[in-house]
Structure 1
Amino acid sequence: MRVGFLLLVLAFGAYWVIKNRHSFADAAQRITFWPIAGALVAGALGAWSGVPAWRSVLAGLGSPLPLKDAQRVFLTGQLGKYIPGGVWTVVAQARLAKDLDVPTTRSATASLMSILLSVVTAASMGALCLGIAGRQILGDYGWTLWLVLPLVALLHPAVLVWAGRVVSRITRRNVPLQRIPARNLVIAAAWSIGGQVVNGLQFFLLVGMVGGTYPNPLLAIGLFSTATAVGIVVIFASAGAGPRELLLAAGLNPLMPPGSAALVVLLSRAVLTVVDLVLAGIALRAGRRTTTSR
């Protein structure tokens, strides 16, 4: 089913581009160097922000790691999100952390809690920013933003643990969420929010470049954060591919022609994929150098 879904996403994306090929080609002529470079920098900062967030959660669970080690485990393990299934990131990070004497259950717990924090912060940022600047996108559906409010309660350590127990009962699988100090949770959430902001700025730069007019930054941040939360929740889509792009394209519909929206969405996916690969390569290389020097 997961492979079929991925093929369906690719087929739908190809059809969308072919159908709007003329406006897509016109929009492609507006691609310039500096907005792409800025998007790559913003995307890199957004991807890296997950490192201190995950590291803070892991430290709260009792296994503090040096920043270099945390970078190697988190950034390399993040490549698991490109495999459909939604669990490979957790598996990869747990396996890599085990080499650093971190118990597998503890690192898996840190990864699961980090993912949950990403959903909460992304959904919250999306609701806040779209509530301020997204009237032209939301229209009569602005009331849906209120549905995000209960998620904020998950930022409380006790509520987070309770949510893990509920998920365990529903899925009949052990979701080992443990209570961590509120300070560690706040630090992790702050880094996650910062990551949502700079990832939204990455999208903002691409929208402005292709569309010719830069929108309200809050609109870009809100739209991208909301799409990110949806992409994480839909676990059978590798790296959120499909649901995230569909939501972004729909959100851009009032702002630009379909071909331009498709180009922005594809460029954003390409930028973030390149960023993930480069950061993982750098972290892995740095980790090998540290091991060799020891």
Structure 2
Amino acid sequence: MRKGNGVDSRLLGGDDGSTRMTKAVRALALTLLSIAVCVALASAFGGLSAAQLARLQTPATWPALALSVVAYTAGLTVSMYSWRALICDTGPGLTGRQTARLYFVGMISKLIPGRLWGVVAHIRMGKPLGVSPERAVAAYSISIIVTISAGFAAGALLIPGALHLPTLLSFLPLILCGLFVLRPQWVNRLVTVALRLSRRPQVTPASTAAVRRSLALAVVSWLAMGLHLWAIAVLLGADPAPSLLPCVSGFALASALGSLTFVLPDGLGAREVVLIAPLTAVMPLAAASTAVVVSRLVCLVSEVLSTAVVVLVARPDAPRAPAAP
């Protein structure tokens, strides 16, 4: 009888020590994330000087900032579907609610230094949904390479104008983007080499169709997110037509380069340094400096708000009752 009771207790309740450990890890991660969000918000707000705040004292400021938040959030949504193409490639399908919750919680974890927390969140939250740890790690690893490569592809649109190349060569970056989408097998090879060099277990590569779809959506997401910087630049006096390409492609290139700094949370500082160069081509240095600071603030507010909305609205499915023996 005691043996039977022991088996029943494991089936119904699980191990108490494991449950306590899970709660402790979850509380630690939530604490670290809360601290990281507060530090990032304080740093973004504190980065605005009195002179920069004076530049924003216009009636058009709040509509422009609201438009920036909408544009960046739209880009994040497209990026979510880019990641979904990889996570659902060989594993179970995820509903829109499940995808949003997994993606945005993992995305906001980038504020904590290092790349560990995002993949840990995907593994822990994906298990109840039938996503194996191997598939979560594979999707996360491939997604990083896809996102950075798409950022470089979108940023390559700046090259002809920056180097004053002939008009015909302006189509070269577009051809390269097309080649990235048509021949995506190199993404899987990069992931395989990176895992081998880091002595990590090899993962199942994504299918060609999934990588192609993810790459295409990632390029679109970068272009959409870059529109937020364009709205800020126009607010600060930049001419709308000439500033569109430097803002959109410049943001993609600077963000991709900032993502390579794995130690800095979300490429803090590195992205702003790179972004100053294309902006100064269409606006004064003082206005460009204000634009990059406001851009960091808009991105952070958009990510925090969208994650909060997803966590509150896209609640996890209620666990099913175990089948009767």
Q: TM-score, normalised by structure 1?
A: 0.81
Alpha-carbon distance change, 80 to 175 in structure 1, aligned in 2, over 3 angstroms: farther
Over aligned residues, Cα RMSD in angstroms?
3.2
Q: Specify the alignment match of 2:62 in structure 1.
A: 33
> For each residue in 1:235-284, what CA deviation from the matched residue of structure 2 results, as whole angstroms up to 9, or x when unmatched?
11101111111111233233333332222111111111111111111221
Q: Which amino acid aligns with 1:163?
A: L
Tell me, yes or no, if the aligned pair for 2:185 and 2:208 is still in contact at 8 Å: no
- Residues 133-148 of structure 1 mapped to structure 2, 5 A cutoff: 133-135=161-163
Higher Rg: 2
Tell me, yes or no, if the aligned pair for 1:75 and 1:283 is still in contact at 8 Å: yes
Q: In the alignment, does 2:267 pair up with 1:240?
A: yes
CA distance in 1, matches of 2:178, 2:256: 12
Q: Which amino acid aligns with 1:28?
A: L
Q: Which amino acid aligns with 2:273?
A: L
Alpha-carbon distance change, 213 to 161 in structure 1, aligned in 2, over 3 angstroms: closer
Tell me, yes or no, if the aligned pair for 1:53 and 1:189 is still in contact at 8 Å: yes
Alpha-carbon distance change, 212 to 254 in structure 1, aligned in 2, over 3 angstroms: closer
- Residues 1-294 of structure 1 mapped to structure 2, 5 A cutoff: 22=51, 24-30=52-58, 32-127=61-156, 129-135=157-163, 156-174=183-201, 176=203, 178-214=204-240, 215-288=242-315, 290-291=317-318
Q: Which amino acid aligns with 2:192?
A: R
Q: Which amino acid aligns with 1:205?
A: A
Q: Which amino acid aligns with 2:217?
A: W
| Unpaired segments ≥5 residues, structure 2 | 1-38
> For each residue in 1:99-122, what CA deviation from the matched residue of structure 2 results, as whole angstroms up to 9, or x when unmatched?
212111211211111111111111
> For each residue in 1:37-57, what CA deviation from the matched residue of structure 2 results, as whole angstroms up to 9, or x when unmatched?
110100100111122111111
Deviates more, 1:257-266 or 1:102-111: 257-266
Tell me, yes or no, if the aligned pair for 2:247 and 2:279 is still in contact at 8 Å: no
Q: Which amino acid aligns with 2:57?
A: Q
Question: How far is 1:131 from its partner?
Answer: 2.8
Tell me, yes or no, if the aligned pair for 2:181 and 2:216 is still in contact at 8 Å: no
Tell me, yes or no, if the aligned pair for 1:17 and 1:262 is still in contact at 8 Å: no
Tell me, yes or no, if the aligned pair for 2:82 and 2:215 is still in contact at 8 Å: yes
CA distance in 2, matches of 1:180, 1:121: 17
CA distance in 1, matches of 2:201, 2:106: 21
CA distance in 2, matches of 1:211, 1:281: 33
CA distance in 2, matches of 1:17, 1:25: 6
Question: How far is 1:134 from its partner?
Answer: 3.8
CA distance in 2, matches of 1:111, 1:279: 20
Alpha-carbon distance change, 270 to 17 in structure 1, aligned in 2, over 3 angstroms: closer
Tell me, yes or no, if the aligned pair for 1:227 and 1:248 is still in contact at 8 Å: yes
> For each residue in 1:212-253, what CA deviation from the matched residue of structure 2 results, as whole angstroms up to 9, or x when unmatched?
432332221110110111111111110111111111123323
Q: Specify the alignment match of 2:14 in structure 1.
A: none
Q: Specify the alignment match of 1:4 in structure 2.
A: none
Question: How far is 1:69 from its partner?
Answer: 0.4
Greater RCO (Cα-Cα under 8 Å, separation 6 or more): 1
Question: How far is 1:289 from its partner?
Answer: 6.7
CA distance in 1, matches of 2:141, 2:316: 29
CA distance in 2, matches of 1:155, 1:243: 31
Q: How many residues align?
A: 272
Tell me, yes or no, if the aligned pair for 2:181 and 2:215 is still in contact at 8 Å: no
Matched residue SS, 1:279 = helix
CA distance in 1, matches of 2:320, 2:246: 47
| Unpaired segments ≥5 residues, structure 1 | 1-6
Matched residue SS, 2:115 = coil
